[in-house]
Amino acid sequence: MSSIKQPFSKIRRTAVEVKNYRSFRRVAIAAIGLLITLLILIYIVSSLFMKYGSFTIKIVDYFGKNFEGYALSLSDRYDFLHPVSYLNTFAVKELTNIDGSRLPPGLNDVDSSHNGDNYLAYTFYLKNVGTKSCSY
């Protein structure tokens, strides 16, 4: 009759069960701490990119990827003196909502980056330097 559990009796555990429980508890606390640390680092990095980020225009470099004949290049000048596969500029830190009527006239007449207080403007040129025609 001693195998029948009595109400309000003490629970007995073996030493292995206690050891496994304590080990699981330590690993769980360490994993949660590591996850929280990782999330905090991701938040800090993303907030820095939002505050000090940049505006990037990029095309895929098709060379060596079985896309023979396709080649696009970018330039921030009309004469393509320095063609590249990406363009980068500093973004405006805080933008507010504006409509098209508040943009200055002749906005596309200036090459490269020419941001205003409430808008982001970057005039760039795209050129097909490959042998096959493609659309972008």
The model carries a pTM of: 0.50
pLDDT tens for residues 67-105? 566 777 888 888 888 888 777 777 767 777 777 787 888
Locate the domains of the chain by residue range. Answer: 13-52, 54-128
Which uninterrupted H or E stretch holds 85? none
Nearest CA to 12 out of 2, 24, 25 is that of 2
Task: State the chain's mean pLDDT as an integer.
Answer: 79
Q: pLDDT for 106-118, tens place per residue?
A: 887 888 778 777 7
Alpha-carbon distances of 118 from 10, 65, 68, 77, 98, rounded to whole Å: 71, 40, 42, 24, 7
